[in-house]
Structure 1
Amino acid sequence: MKKFLIAAAPLALLGACSGGGSDSLQAGEWTMTTTMTDIEVPGMPEEMVAQMRESMGDQANTETECITDEEAANPLEGMFSNNEMGENCDFGDSTFEGGVINISATCEAPGGQPGTATMAIEGTYTATTMEAEMSVAVEGGPMEMNMSGTMSGERTGECEA
């Protein structure tokens, strides 16, 4: 479940990016950093939750992604379609325009696991940078939890061939 949530965050963020002034994300290599700032697990002993916070919280997870021209032109279709967020995702009224990110997604857990993940991301962007706050609620599976965190991204150059 932890891997699912950490993998989902950068993809969600990349999907949220489109270029500030021109409404299009600049294709190329992007470095995305996600930091979980809070974790709540109802029903789990507080000392175990504290251990989870210590292992996940305040530790930046940085990944490099190559964003193609097609993905940059339509981030929701292009980047969310690889489904690391889960399966059968519904992005409802998600938008990323005018420099503002507003994503709301509900996805079934990947691989036929029980449960759903609901993610909300709000932030700002330009063609080459972005900043956002996120929250994730996982329900209906073996372990329900709520997480929040921050994300940032920066275009670092052209994609390697």
Structure 2
Amino acid sequence: MKHITIIAAAGAMLLAGCSGGTADADGDGEITAKEVADKSKAEGIKPEPGLYKSTITMTELDVPGMPAEMKGHGAGQVITTEDCLTQEEVDKGFEELMKQGQNGECSYETFNLNGGKLDAVMVCKSPEGSARMTMSGTTSATSSEFTAESKMNFEGMGEATLKFTGKHERIGDCKAK
């Protein structure tokens, strides 16, 4: 599993702002990034542009075939990044922001963000396999905190599980280039 996928998925939650209810506009049982973006846009919800610090902490890793002595390996690993969200990126809409960095084709089974409380399930399919990530937490236009569990099926190996926490916070304005 790629760290960028985890960070991008986590970042998507920060960028989601605050919206209520489920975004499955066409009623097909699958919530696409476009449906989430359209719902957010219709409600006038946008994240604040600025410099964001993202901290992802792995809390559990279970991979099929992992030697017993490696059980828990990676737990506690922290990935911290700083990324600038410009006004231009905000103006492009959530659909484009949420697509960035995803490994494969992703859609939402559920995406509920109501009163700053997040509950979502995202499924991504790639040549390496399929992954299903459940996320819950809180979010605002300038910060979010959540827990997530990702399960990925590796052909011929079985299902790996990764659990992590994420925190995103606006720490200032973007630096001039």
TM-score bracket for the superposition, by shorter chain length: 0.7 to 0.9
2:35 equivalent to 1:8: no
Select the residue among 111, 130, 139 that pairs with 1:116: 130
Normalization by structure 2: what TM-score? 0.72
In 1, the alpha carbon distance for the partners of 2:12 and 2:156 equals 28
Residues 24-79 of structure 1: CA deviation (Å, up to 9, x unaligned): 321111110000001112332211334xx2xx22121001122233654643x122
Q: Which has the larger radius of gyration?
A: 2
2:108 equivalent to 1:87: no
Question: Against the structure 1 CA distance between its residues 70 and 136, is the aligned structure 2 distance closer, same or farther, given a 3 Å change threshold?
Answer: farther
Tell me what 2:30 maps to. Answer: none
Tell me what 1:32 maps to. Answer: 54
Offset, 1:97: 4.0
Tell me what 2:41 maps to. Answer: none
Residues 68-113 of structure 1: CA deviation (Å, up to 9, x unaligned): 33654643x122212x23111112322334212222111123xxx3
Find runs of 4+ consecutive structure 1 residues off by over 6 angstroms: none
Question: Against the structure 1 CA distance between its residues 124 and 158, is the aligned structure 2 distance closer, same or farther, given a 3 Å change threshold?
Answer: same
* Structure 1 spans left out of the alignment, 5+ residues: none
Tell me what 1:132 maps to. Answer: 146
2:116 equivalent to 1:99: yes
Select the residue among 56, 79, 82 that pairs with 1:64: 82
2:166 equivalent to 1:151: yes
CA contact (8 A) 1:70 1:78 kept: no
Question: Against the structure 1 CA distance between its residues 70 and 138, is the aligned structure 2 distance closer, same or farther, given a 3 Å change threshold?
Answer: farther
In 2, the alpha carbon distance for the partners of 1:24 and 1:123 equals 18
One-letter amino acid matched to 1:151 = G
SS in 1 for 2:109: coil
Higher deviation after alignment, 40-49 or 24-33: 40-49
Q: CA RMSD in A?
A: 2.4
In 1, the alpha carbon distance for the partners of 2:86 and 2:155 equals 34
In 2, the alpha carbon distance for the partners of 1:92 and 1:69 equals 29
Tell me what 1:41 maps to. Answer: 63
In 2, the alpha carbon distance for the partners of 1:96 and 1:16 equals 9
Offset, 1:141: 3.6
User: Identity across aligned pairs (percent)?
Assistant: 28
Aligned residues: 149
In 2, the alpha carbon distance for the partners of 1:37 and 1:11 equals 18
